[in-house]
Amino acid sequence: MEALLQLPALEMRLSESVAEKYGAVARHVQSSLGDSPAAWGTLLTWVLVHSLGKIMGEVGFEQQSRSWIDEWLLGKIVAGVLRDLGLDEAAAWRTVTVVKLLTAHQGWFVAKRPHLVLEELLQDDEVQQFMQVNRYQDVLWFNKETFEELLEWLLLVAAVQLGAAPGHTLDEAAAEIAACHGVVKKLRRAEKKSGYQVEKLLALS
């Protein structure tokens, strides 16, 4: 929670030399977070639920946490809070969907290779639904806007986790956040060349 709340001041908290090197990445993270209730509602909810599965153990806790969001009806509670903050019904439930995806794939940045990250994401039916993957004339297509949105959310949760990692200085975390940003940039470049075809996206990543 502390790491999340400090994200808006990420660049200011870096040492001068590190800010000079990674300041653009820090500003990108800060801009992606912004100040909208939907953005903060998503990440605050994720912080509270993403590690629930560790009650049962470290192995596979991500999927256990994801499952409990449904089993414990947490989505309904979160959607209600977001409606109270001014979101409409559709936006509130979309936020719940994003929280589930980020919970299931919170460790995405461990792979570090864009192709492996993308392969793992696309194995998840819920990710495919979010990206609006569909088949037309024997070709699998995806939606540009939702794919780019997913990438920004993944970068944000990586920034929070790396900023909170024990034994890391903030300057060290900044270098790792920059590496995650590099993965996202490579996936964005692959997207632009893919013609929004899933197979081409995988081949180019």
pLDDT tier, 77 (very low <50, low <70, confident <90, very high otherwise): very high
25-54 pLDDT tens trace = 999 999 988 888 888 999 999 999 999 999
pLDDT tier, 168 (very low <50, low <70, confident <90, very high otherwise): confident
Q: 140 - beta bridge partners?
A: 135
137-156 pLDDT tens trace = 999 999 999 999 999 999 99
Q: How many domains does the chain have?
A: 1
For residues 53 and 97, is the Cβ–Cβ distance under 8 A?
no
- Top-confidence range, 18-27, 32-41, 77-86, 130-139: 130-139
Structure tokens at 55: 């009650």
Boundaries of domain holding 57: 2-204
Give φ, ψ of 85 to 5 degrees.
-85, -5
How far CA 113 is from CA of 32, 118, 155, 182, 185, in Å, comes to: 22, 9, 14, 10, 12
Taking the C-alpha atoms of residue 160 and residue 4, their distance in angstroms, rounded to an integer, is: 5
Taking the C-alpha atoms of residue 7 and residue 50, their distance in angstroms, rounded to an integer, is: 18
pLDDT of residue 111: 78
Q: How far apart are the first and last CA of the chain?
A: 32
pTM of the predicted model over 0.75: yes
What SS3 state is found at 134? strand
pLDDT of residue 37: 84
- Provide mean pLDDT across the span 157-183: 92
Structure tokens at 111: 């792979």
Count of H helices and E strands in the chain? 12, 2
What average pLDDT is seen over the chain?
93
Report which of 126, 104, 105, 96 is spatially closest to residue 183, judged by C-alpha positions.
Answer: 105
pLDDT tier, 172 (very low <50, low <70, confident <90, very high otherwise): very high
pLDDT tier, 167 (very low <50, low <70, confident <90, very high otherwise): confident
